[in-house]
Amino acid sequence: MTNENQLFSEFSRFLDANFAGLEIKKPLFYNWRFALRFDLQDFTKMEAKKPTQKYFVEVVERARELYTAAFKPEDKIYVFYRKWDFGINILSEINELKNDDFYEFTERGTYEGAEFSFETTLICAEAKKLNMDKVLIAISNLDYDRVPKIDGEVYIFNIKNKLIFNMYDDRGLDMIASEKWALSQIYKHYYKYLLDYDLKKMKIAFA
């Protein structure tokens, strides 16, 4: 068995043990019991309904605050990057990355009757080795003519806390966890960022 396959096998066992039946796709929030959905937008920082630089700064600051609440620098993580088209190379945003620490493969399937394939990268590293600021900025730029940009989906797994973090674009991010305790304090401390539209569902799970 190759090192790459070994990494993927370990990742698959982690999913089976903690997130059985979950498909790694958006929206995580609606596909799991213990889930939080956060609003990253501040419309007061728009001008003529268009985002300004201050708007993007606020988006990234909120995302960074939430990421820091969910991950400690020494936490071991998986990064699952499903690339749609173009954008930054996620491997270049990991410091001291070894060949055994990542696995690149092609996902194939069907969506609404059409066949698709994605180039996907799986990484295992310590959280402190990930250049998270650049990744968050790149995700916030997904729908805009701005750089750096990620054109794809990035899922970050906290192996110890059995938690998944997915910032889907500048609008918001989802966190889900295998067990309620992993999100309870985040729910309390960052209640102000919870998306109003889905607040009822979150109150039922965490209040």
| Closest CA relative to residue 174, chosen from 66, 84, 87, 81 | 66
| pLDDT tens for each residue of 45-102 | 999 889 999 999 999 999 999 999 999 999 999 999 998 876 667 878 888 888 889 9
Q: What is the separation of C-alpha 21 from the centre of its chain, rounded to a whole number of angstroms? A: 18
Q: Identify any residues that bridge with 111 across adjacent strands, giving them in sequence order.
A: 114
Report yes or no: 163 and 175 within 8 Å, Cβ to Cβ. Answer: yes
| pLDDT tens for each residue of 133-179 | 999 999 999 999 999 998 889 999 999 999 999 999 999 999 999 99
CA–CA distance, 207 with 198 (Å, rounded to integer): 13
> Tokens standing for 2?
């190759």
pTM of the model: 0.93
Report yes or no: 75 and 164 within 8 Å, Cβ to Cβ. Answer: no
| pLDDT tens for each residue of 5-59 | 899 999 999 999 999 999 999 999 999 999 999 999 999 999 988 999 999 999 9
**3-state SS, residue 116:** strand
